[in-house]
Amino acid sequence: GEDVEQSLFLSVREGDSSVINCTYTDSSSTYLYWYKQEPGAGLQLLTYIFSNMDMKQDQRLTVLLNKKDKHLSLRIADTQTGDSAIYFCAEIYNQGGKLIFGQGTELSVKP
Amino acid sequence: GAVVSQHPSRVICKSGTSVKIECRSLDFQATTMFWYRQFPKQSLMLMATSNEGSKATYEQGVEKDKFLINHASLTLSTLTVTSAHPEDSSFYICSAREIAQGTEAFFGQGTRLTVV
């Protein structure tokens, strides 16, 4: 079955880098996603990576994908207090279009 | 990115009544929309996949007679929670995929349903 796992909490100081990790089980996933959710709001797509890529960089965000270990990470450089939110990784399950989400990692940024 | 609009953002209803939630893709066409439910401090659980012009596909354990889904056009899907009870109180979020793109799923802002 499908399963995506994340650590639940991460606390960093403003200006530091944050690294949020995720593991998944469906090796046939073509795309893997990172979403951000602020309190009471929907999900904002941050970035996604195609499964034949190892890395993708988009401004302060760097996504690393290790297909062998089925491990995905999101690095946020120069983390700001406005980055405090819950971050979800997700994979497309069985290429059917539905997304399977991890539990979400709550990022707390302290000034 | 593409915009998905969900309405209402908050609704309070009495037990036994029905509530309809709308999900619209504003600047793209979506043959498929997805409905998720999120409990406090928890992840999103897929409830059903809504396909334009056909019946929705429900995930295991989701009552199709309780959560009615209609996807009448390429830009609109609705979720109706029928005979709502307090345990149906939750955060409901829809997402939609562009027909042509197929890579990104865009989410609505969510609907906070409270059944009293």
Find the range with the poorest average confidence among A13-27, A39-53, B65-79: A39-53
**Whose CA is closest to A93, among A22, A31, A18, A49?**
A31
- A interface mutation test: which of B43, B90, B99 has the most A CBs within 10 A? B43
Token representation of residue A8: 């639940």
- Provide the percentage of residues in chain B whose pLDDT is more than 90: 60
Q: Report the distance separating Cα A98 and Cα B74, nearest Å.
A: 18
Q: Per residue in A8-35, pLDDT tens?
A: 999 999 999 999 999 998 777 778 899 9
Instruction: List CB contacts (< 8 A) between A39 and chain B.
Output: none
- CB-CB contact of B88 with B115 (8 Å): yes
